[in-house]
């Protein structure tokens, strides 16, 4: 699978400025914006521009707001951002242990990998994987989706996290996946045939060498999908099952 180029910090800085300036414009009364517009016209007139265009005016307005908000210059922002990203990459920042399944999963993926999360408790894994450079799609309950998106935006990871309330059986992969991480809850209400179809679609969409991980298979309890069923569905894949409370299931797709 061809990897996509990572976004540069310069580009992220430009997005940060755009977001902060637009948020300011939406938060103040129209009279304030008109006043800033007048200041911008005066500033441009003093510079003896050949022609006052709408583009020049918008740019000057943004410069005035930049100064009013005392937004940091790129060099200052970059230092802060690098330090923050180092912190966000730490599992402990998200309350994860080094031996948690999702933490060990990052050993199998690289930056710019596409990861699908489905089922229960997707918020923390989504943010952790995004901080590690993955492009993450999270399928969750409607009341969770906005929380995931808001948390990603707050952490500066909004461009890497895509959350939707679509059920797993209704979601269609738009590009090859590097990893799929789901809980049995993703299969609630599905028949055996429907589960088989969903898993087959995900398997086909997974790149060679990619992994599927199933979290929280509680030992001795009824679940929408059992370990025995998973073993059958993943014949031909390299399967590892770790027994415990809970059990975990990992399957790796072979390289053709």
Q: Tell me the CATH class for 97-252.
A: alpha beta
Distance CA 43, CA 39 (A): 6
pLDDT tens across the length of the chain (256 residues): 334 445 688 888 998 899 999 999 999 999 999 999 899 888 888 776 556 677 888 899 999 999 999 999 999 999 999 998 899 989 999 998 887 878 877 777 777 789 999 987 888 989 999 998 899 999 988 888 989 999 998 888 888 999 998 888 989 888 899 999 988 888 888 999 999 999 999 999 999 999 999 876 665 556 788 888 899 999 999 998 877 656 788 899 988 6
What are the residue ranges spanned by the domains of the chain? 9-75, 97-252
Burial code (b: 16+ CB inside 10 Å, e: under 16) for 145-162 equals beebbebbeebbbbebbb
DSSP 36: H
């Amino acid at each position: 699978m061809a990897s996509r180029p990572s976004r540069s910090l310069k580009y992220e800085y430009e997005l940060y400025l755009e977001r902060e300036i637009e948020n300011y414009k939406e938060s103040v009364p129209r009279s304030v914006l008109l006043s800033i517009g007048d200041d911008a016209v005066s500033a441009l007139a003093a510079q003896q521009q050949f022609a006052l265009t709408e583009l020049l005016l918008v740019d000057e307005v943004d410069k005035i707001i930049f100064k009013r908000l005392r937004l940091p210059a790129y060099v200052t922002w970059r230092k802060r951002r690098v330090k923050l990203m180092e912190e966000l990459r730490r599992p402990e920042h998200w309350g994860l242990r080094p031996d948690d399944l999702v933490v060990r999963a990052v050993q199998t993926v690289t930056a710019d990998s596409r990861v699908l999360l489905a089922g229960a408790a997707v918020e923390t894994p989504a943010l952790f994987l995004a901080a590690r450079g993955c492009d993450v799609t999270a399928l969750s309950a409607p009341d969770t989706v906005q929380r995931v998106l808001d948390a990603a935006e707050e952490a500066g990871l909004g461009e890497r996290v895509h959350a939707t309330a679509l059920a797993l059986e209704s979601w269609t992969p738009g590009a090859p996946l590097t990893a799929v991480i789901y809980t049995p809850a993703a299969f609630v209400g599905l028949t055996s045939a429907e589960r088989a179809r969903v898993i087959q679609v995900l398997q086909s969409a997974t790149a060679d060498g990619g992994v599927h991980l199933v979290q929280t298979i509680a030992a001795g309890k009824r679940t929408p999908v059992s370990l025995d069923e998973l073993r059958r569905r993943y014949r031909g894949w390299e399967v590892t099952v770790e027994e415990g409370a809970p059990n975990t299931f990992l399957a790796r797709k072979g390289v053709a």
